[in-house]
Amino acid sequence: MLGAGISVQFGAALAKTLFDDLGPGGTVFLRVAFAALLLLLLWRPRVRDRSRRELALAAAFGVSLAGMNLSFYEALDRIPLGVTVTFEFVGPLGVAVAASRRPLDVLWVTLAAVGILLLSDFGEFGGLDTAGVALALLAGAFWAAYILLSARTGRVFPGGTGLALAMAVASLVLVPVGVADAGDALLRPDLLALGAAVAVLSSAIPYSFELEALRGLAAGVFGVLMSLEPAMAALAGFVVLGQDLGARELVAIVLVVAASAGAARESSAQVDRV
Q: From first to last of its 274 residues, what are the pLDDT tens digits of the chain?
A: 778 888 888 888 888 889 999 999 999 999 999 999 999 999 999 898 899 999 999 999 999 999 999 999 999 999 887 778 878 878 877 776 776 666 777 777 778 777 766 765 544 445 678 899 899 999 999 988 988 898 899 889 998 999 999 999 999 999 999 999 999 999 999 999 999 999 999 888 888 888 888 776 665 556 656 666 766 777 777 777 777 777 877 887 788 778 777 766 655 554 443 3
Q: What is the pLDDT of residue 274?
A: 37
pLDDT at residue 251, as a whole number? 84
DSSP the chain: -HHHHHHHHHHHHHHHTTHHHHHHHHHHHHHHHHHHHHHHHHH---GGGS-HHHHHHHHHHHHHHHHHHHHHHHHHTTS-HHHHHHHHTHHHHHHHHHT---TTHHHHHHHHHHHHHHHTTTTT-TTS-HHHHHHHHHHHHHHHHHHHHHHHHHHHSSTTHHHHHHHHHHHHHHHHHHHHHHGGGGG-HHHHHHHHHHHIIIIIHHHHHHHHHHHHS-HHHHHHHHTTHHHHHHHHHHHHH-----HHHHHHHHHHHHHHHHHHHHHHHHHHH-
80's torsion region: left (phi>0), alpha (psi -120 to 50) or beta? Answer: beta
pTM > 0.75: yes or no = yes
Q: What is the pLDDT of residue 124?
A: 43
pLDDT at 225: 63
pLDDT of residue 221: 58
